[in-house]
Structures are given as structure tokens and as C-alpha cells.
Amino acid sequence: MSSEPDIRWKLSPFDSLNVPELYALLQLRGEVFVVEQNCAFQDLDGSDALAMHLQGHISGELVAYARCFGPGVKFAEASIGRIVTRGSCRGAGIGRVLVERAMASIGELWGRQVIRIGAQARLARFYQGHGFSDAGVPYIEDGIDHLEMLWHPHPRTPETLKTPERK
């Protein structure tokens, strides 16, 4: 069993990001969304100031990033966007940890609630693994097939709060 990567997480509002942090997150988003995916699009969409910025660093390098929004900002529900991991770090479980951390951050900031994402269609199975389901709203954004997906929190009952037994 492999160990989870040693990631230092930081969640910040836009106005507390320093210049090197802002540069690093914009560089990572451009590296993946523009260059790697060969997609010319307007990344600076005016929403960064409305987001909480989740950054994951390994040895001082930004390797994972996502924007977290409260309800009523991007969608009626809370949402996560610009979910990205550095290409050289993929396959180590960092993307999985990033999504889990973003979902937990929304719960801590705005309470457990429905989360909506606009996911690239090719990543639907990845997000389904986190409990997201297709909301039936496919669309094309910047030439890439997307779909809206929803995550619904499970009711907290004594049964769901029990720790699973280990075999």
C-alpha cells in the first residue's frame, strides 16, 4: 500500500494571496488548461476575487489547486472549479486528495451542502468516484465537452458515522 504524498495545504481568500502564490497558481492553470490541453480560453474570468483558493505544495512547489465558491456565486449551490494537478505529479493520488480537500473546505466554510461542478466530460468517472453524479447538463466550453455534476451529502446518522471495521 503506497503512502499519501506529503502535501502542505493552504486555503486563502483572493486578497490574501501574495504575488508569488498568485503567479504560481496562474502559471499552473495556464500550463495545464491552455498549453497541455491546447485550449485558448480566458482563464482570468473575474471570479478569482470571489473564490477561496486551495493550494497544495510539495517541497515548496505548487502541485495541486482548486477554487472553492460558496452557494450563489457560480451556481445556486456551492461549487469547485479550476481543479488542476501538475502533470509531473499525476498518478500519485494528488488529484483525489485535492478533490476531497476542496469538498471538505466547502463544508468547513459554508456547511455540508450540495456541491455543483462543471467537469470535463472525460473526467466524469473520476468525479463519480467522489460521489458526484451527472446533473444532465452537458455543454461545450472552449471546445471541450463538459457536464455539470452534483454531489449530495449523505444524512449523518449513527450508522454513517461509524468507523468501518478493518479486516
CATH number of residue 64's parent domain: 3.40.630.30
In a domain, 3, yes or no: no
Residue 165 has pLDDT above 80, yes or no: no
Report yes or no: 25 and 55 within 8 Å, Cβ to Cβ. yes
- The answer to whether the pTM exceeds 0.85 is yes
Residue 160 confidence (pLDDT): 44
Residue 82 has pLDDT above 60, yes or no: yes
In a domain, 22, yes or no: yes
Q: Which domain holds residue 49?
A: 8-161
Classify residue 130 as exposed, middle or buried by CB count within 10 Å of its CB (0-12, 13-18, 19+): middle
Classify residue 76 as exposed, middle or buried by CB count within 10 Å of its CB (0-12, 13-18, 19+): exposed
Residue 157 confidence (pLDDT): 52
Give the whole-number percent of the chain exceeding pLDDT 90.
74
In a domain, 106, yes or no: yes
In a domain, 2, yes or no: no
Residue 164 confidence (pLDDT): 44
> How many structural domains is the chain composed of?
1
In a domain, 166, yes or no: no
Over residues 111-163, the pLDDT tens digits come to 999 999 999 999 999 999 999 999 998 999 888 999 999 999 987 655 444 44
Residue 4 confidence (pLDDT): 60
In a domain, 167, yes or no: no
Strand order in the sheet with 144-151: 8-13, 52-58, 61-69, 78-85, 115-120, 144-151, 132-141
User: What is the residue type of 111?
Assistant: G
Residue 34 confidence (pLDDT): 81
Residue 36 confidence (pLDDT): 83
- Reduced to 3 states (helix: H, G, I; strand: E, B; else coil), residue 139 is strand
In a domain, 1, yes or no: no
pLDDT mean over 55-69: 97
| Dist. CA 54–CA 52, nearest whole Å | 7
